[in-house]
Structure 1
């Protein structure tokens, strides 16, 4: 494992989360690497796709593929009110992370695609803590309102009951609307759905896809160009790239993302978060 330190980690990071006061109309954001994000606002702290372990190493019994250690260990996460899973790939639904996180945060609810419910119960998370959801349904957990959005991880995967295996989420929290795309390519129906949502922050994967990676079983996402164009189409105020930093064989140079914005949309706001960094975002939509 590369010894790249997180900006903030462990007790220091958790103390910062606890001490961060979030005014109405704002949300605090922490990036934990890959697509792992923490949002805080309205008295709630939510984790999205927490991948905090070295589970790939556990599975392969080989050297860790991570480029940096997780800013938090699963057993340290005592502050989760809700945990959202976008799909069942290991770097998004990680049993090693979720099992210890669930024990450390007994108050946390878990939200996931319907077909992921057995995966969570199999690791000992009580069924009453798990909320299986599908695209298009709007729900509320405490102060948080959220709507799952269908994603194409290159293609749609839908079961016989019409439940999507890959989801993104539109979160409405404390007066701010955040879209976390999960893993997806850009496509017309997604753009049409999101442009109705008045997105403040769009968190989008940029690692792309290609034949060579697909042949090795690495299903792809939108690239930096698609991510910027989707964010622009839906009118997002702030673009945040994800899914480019953790695994050496499935990364992207985020400078391409920055260069594309500077070339074509120089007034578009964006933020590249390093692992363990905090951002406080105040919505400007009603000002």
Structure 2
């Protein structure tokens, strides 16, 4: 074999190996099939013609989607990534859960402490948010704490089945590490968990405005404006926001959603809230219906009841960990803070791993400036 042939063979072998690695575990990561999901979805008034629907119609890509999209992809460079390392806070967890606190682990992953209970929201500990271990958006900072170091959880709540919110590896490890925790999910998402061998007794599927009681804590599935899908088919499972109601405190977790005036109805039915966790990143003028921007997050906080509760706090999520749009890495926060000040909304911006005790005064430390 001559040198050229040897090099060609080596490249072909490397290419084959790369493809094998890229598709390794792909079928399992995709989750349940449409036939597996349908029995859990079919009874919902939001499920028509084999898929779920928003109350307010939402386009995944708006009318401006085509123009300039390819150019933005080719010229985006490192705009969406920090210029330096993202600082991580040392993880501190008290033995007993607080009356009201939140720890942000990055993106939408957050641990809520409410009236002595602990709820882990949208946990994603994998390196990539993708069905493939080698292709897809990768982390821009390490996970601040190992899953095995988390305190005992009462519940794990999932907002929808996109890879940056529902991660197979994380779910499977949590099921083993947290034997007492229940997995509370929107309709249809439980089919993915059953596919991954999570015990039926631990899965709670809910439609909007349905709830489950975990001892003295009520977890309510509420409306969002988004979409779902882990493969080529979309909207087979429901998407949602969540309300956590304890004996004395109330928390709203927005998951992933575009702005909708329907949140005012959620506030009237379940608020006012002491704490809201609202998405502020991955927005773009080409998909305004499915991802709210920072100013809309402030408006949502007010719609949920913040106008009458100046002591309530907004904590931003869905930013800073994965590059999923075209805006600059820290832009969600540089836009959020002035909008919050103008509307007199109390805001805290924890660094990854930082725990915020909402019952104590919190000052905003601009830690993100160090990362650029």
What TM-score bracket applies, with the shorter chain setting the length? 0.7 to 0.9
Q: What is the SS of the residue equivalent to 1:118?
A: helix
| Equivalent position of 2:191 in the other structure | 118
For the residue of structure 2 that corresponds to 1:274, the secondary structure is: coil
SS of structure 2 residue aligned to 1:248: coil
Q: Within 5 Å, give how 1:88-127 maps onto structure 2.
A: 88-127=161-200
SS at 2:172's partner residue? helix
The CA distance in 2 between the partners of 1:114 and 1:76, in whole Å, is 30
Describe the superposition over 1:163-218 as per-residue Cα deviations: whole angstroms up to 9, x where unpaired. x7111001112511100011111212222222342111111111253366x5xxx9
- How much has 1:3 moved relative to structure 2? 4.6
Q: Could you tell me which residue of structure 1 aligns to residue 317 of structure 2?
A: 242
Q: Which residue of 2 aligns with 1:41?
A: 114
1:35-69 residue CA offsets vs partner (Å, 9 max, x unmatched): 11101233322101011121437715148621101
Tell me, what secondary structure is at the counterpart of 2:93? helix
**8 Å contact kept, 1:145–1:172:** yes
**Could you tell me which residue of structure 2 aligns to residue 7 of structure 1?**
89
CA distance in 2, matches of 1:151, 1:141: 23
Cα gap change, 1:72 to 1:121, in 2 (>3 Å): farther
> How far has the Cα of 1:71 moved from its partner?
1.4
Whether 2:232 is the aligned partner of 1:232: answer no
Give the Å deviation of 1:219. Answer: 8.6
**How far apart, in 2, do the equivalents of 1:3 and 1:58 lie?**
26
Q: Distance in 1 between matches of 2:238 and 2:178?
A: 26
- Contact 1:154–1:221, Cα closer than 8 Å, also in 2: no
Write out aligned runs for 1:83-232 (5 A): 83-153=156-226, 165-196=238-269, 197-207=271-281, 209-210=283-284, 220-232=290-302
Q: Flag the 1:39–1:65 CA change in 2: closer, same or farther, 3 A.
A: same
The answer to whether residue 89 in structure 2 is matched with residue 19 in structure 1 is no
User: Which residue does the alignment assign to 1:257?
Assistant: 336
Find 2:345's aligned residue among 254, 258, 268. 268
Matched position secondary structure for 1:68: coil
CA RMSD, 1 decimal: 2.7
Change over 3 Å in CA distance of 1:166–1:109 after alignment to 2: same
Q: Distance in 1 between matches of 2:296 and 2:336?
A: 10
Instruction: Determine the C-alpha separation between the residues in 1 that align with 2:162 and 2:335.
Output: 26
* Cα separation, partners in 2 of 1:195 and 1:274, compared to 1, 3 Å: farther
Cα distance in 2, alignment partners of residues 140 and 243 from structure 1? 27
Q: Which has the higher strand share?
A: 1
Structure 1 runs (4+) greater than 4 angstroms displaced: none
Residue 220 of structure 1, CA deviation: 4.0
Cα contact 1:3–1:69 (8 A) shared by 2: no
Describe the shift of the 1:254–1:95 C-alpha distance in structure 2 as closer, same or farther (beyond 3 A). same
Instruction: Select 1:278's aligned residue among 355, 360, 367.
Output: 355
Larger Rg: 1 or 2?
A: 2
Farther-moved stretch of structure 1 (166-175 vs 68-77): 68-77
CA contact (8 A) 2:131 2:163 kept: no
CA 1:44 to 1:226, structure 2 compared with 1: closer, same or farther past 3 Å?
same
Question: Is 1:56 matched with 2:133?
Answer: no
CA distance in 2, matches of 1:21, 1:119: 30
Q: Distance in 2 between matches of 1:203 and 1:50?
A: 14
- Distance in 1, matches of 2:262 and 2:289, equals 20
